[in-house]
């Protein structure tokens, strides 16, 4: 069940990546719902996903510790 939430989160983040505010809001929700190891995986995925989307890089601070 947990893996499904992680995959769903990635799908949502990909779909809302056109809007920085919405992307940050969805990322905040993910930070509350995902397990710690999934959050680490999401962080790695985000660094790769935002390489060509510099407008989203500021949102990574939401899940970075």
Structure tokens at 62: 């939401």
pLDDT tens digits, 16-63:
999 999 999 999 999 999 999 999 999 999 999 999 999 999 998 988
pLDDT surpassing 70 at residue 8: yes
Cβ proximity of 28 and 60 under 8 Å: no
Q: In the prediction, which pLDDT does 65 show?
A: 60
Cβ proximity of 5 and 33 under 8 Å: yes
Could you give the C-alpha distances from 21 to 14, 25, 61, in angstroms and in order?
14, 6, 13
Taking residue 20's Cβ as centre, other Cβ atoms within 10 Å add up to: 15
């Amino acid at each position: 069940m947990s893996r499904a939430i992680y995959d769903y989160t990635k799908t949502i983040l990909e779909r809302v990546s056109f809007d920085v505010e919405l992307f940050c809001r969805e990322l905040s929700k993910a930070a509350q719902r995902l397990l710690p190891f999934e959050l680490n995986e999401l962080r790695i995925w985000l660094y790769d996903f935002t390489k060509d989307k510099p407008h989203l890089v500021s949102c990574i601070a939401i899940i970075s510790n």
